[in-house]
């Protein structure tokens, strides 16, 4: 599914329960997160629906480097030669996207949370088992305005991974939260603002603490890595996520 202008100059590609975002300005396009491998065709369609061509895609910015966020990254580098931005703590994970820290075993979650089964199966069909690693070529720093189309500002939000970064776009009153704050937890199937379950989170206490940094942006529109956009303010979303805690 492709949704134009979920916030001004920000477009959503939602595929196999994973979200990617295209940032657009006069300088071209930036892709935020690279989904699963099967998003490739949808990404091409989205670029053309915007009246653009693949050469207009200037950079890939990763909120973090789990396998479901780097799916087409290597292919983009191979075919377009674009730069890949991520925090230095994500460099090793980007190269080896299945070697991620998590607090709880993954296998128990579909048994405990059967509503997650169709979500996880959809991700498998999206290519979750065949993701290639990618080399990070540019580093993100906390507070940095990234020199790419859209000019997002980095909000360090560690916990889901140790180098997780959200991206604030004040001109659009929007915050791309990646998996620091989602509205669908793939490991439980639960919806509404929350952090991702311990099956895929490195440090849930750190993730809860990072909600404060997200809330400080004051953004109205929250654009998560999984689930639908939240339009009621990041402060309220962060409060709900704290109350819910980690599954």
* Alpha-carbon span 136 to 7, nearest angstrom: 27
Q: Would the pTM count as exceeding 0.95?
A: yes
Per-residue pLDDT of the chain (247 residues; tens, 9 = 90+): 999 999 999 999 999 999 999 999 999 999 999 999 999 999 999 999 999 999 999 999 999 999 999 999 999 999 999 999 999 999 999 999 999 999 998 877 887 889 999 999 999 999 999 999 999 999 999 999 999 999 999 999 999 999 999 999 999 999 999 999 999 999 999 999 999 999 999 999 999 999 999 999 999 999 999 999 999 999 999 999 999 998 8
* Alpha-carbon span 223 to 215, nearest angstrom: 13
Q: What is the pLDDT of residue 106?
A: 83
Main-chain phi, psi angles of 38, to 5 degrees: -75, -5
| CB contact at 8 A, 142 and 89 | no
**All structural domains of the chain:** 2-244 (3.60.15.10)
The greatest distance separating any two alpha carbons of the chain, rounded to the nearest whole angstrom, comes to 48
Q: What is the pLDDT of residue 237?
A: 98
Q: What is the pLDDT of residue 105?
A: 87
């Amino acid at each position: 599914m492709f949704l134009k202008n979920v916030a001004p100059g920000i477009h959503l590609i939602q595929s196999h329960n994973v979200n990617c975002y295209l940032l657009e300005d006069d300088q071209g396009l930036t892709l935020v997160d690279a989904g699963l491998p099967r998003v490739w065709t949808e990404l091409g369609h989205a670029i053309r629906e915007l009246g653009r061509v693949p050469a207009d895609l200037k950079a890939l910015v990763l909120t973090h480097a789990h396998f479901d966020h780097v799916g087409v990254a290597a292919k983009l580098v191979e075919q377009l030669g674009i730069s890949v931005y991520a925090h230095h703590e994500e460099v090793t994970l980007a190269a080896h996207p299945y070697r991620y820290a998590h607090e709880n075993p993954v296998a128990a979650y579909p048994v405990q949370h059967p509503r997650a089964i169709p979500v996880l199966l959809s991700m498998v069909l999206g290519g979750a088992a065949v993701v290639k690693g990618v080399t990070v070529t540019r580093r993100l720093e906390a507070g940095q305005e990234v020199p790419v189309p859209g000019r997002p500002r980095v909000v360090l939000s560690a916990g889901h991974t140790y180098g997780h970064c959200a991206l604030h776009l004040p001109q659009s009153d929007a915050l791309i939260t990646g998996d620091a704050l989602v509205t669908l937890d793939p490991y439980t199937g639960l919806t509404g603002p929350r952090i991702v379950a311990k099956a895929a989170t490195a440090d849930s206490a750190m993730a809860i603490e990072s909600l404060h940094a997200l809330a400080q942006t004051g953004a109205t529109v929250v654009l998560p890595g999984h689930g639908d956009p939240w339009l009621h303010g990041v402060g309220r979303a962060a409060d709900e996520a704290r109350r819910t805690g980690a599954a």
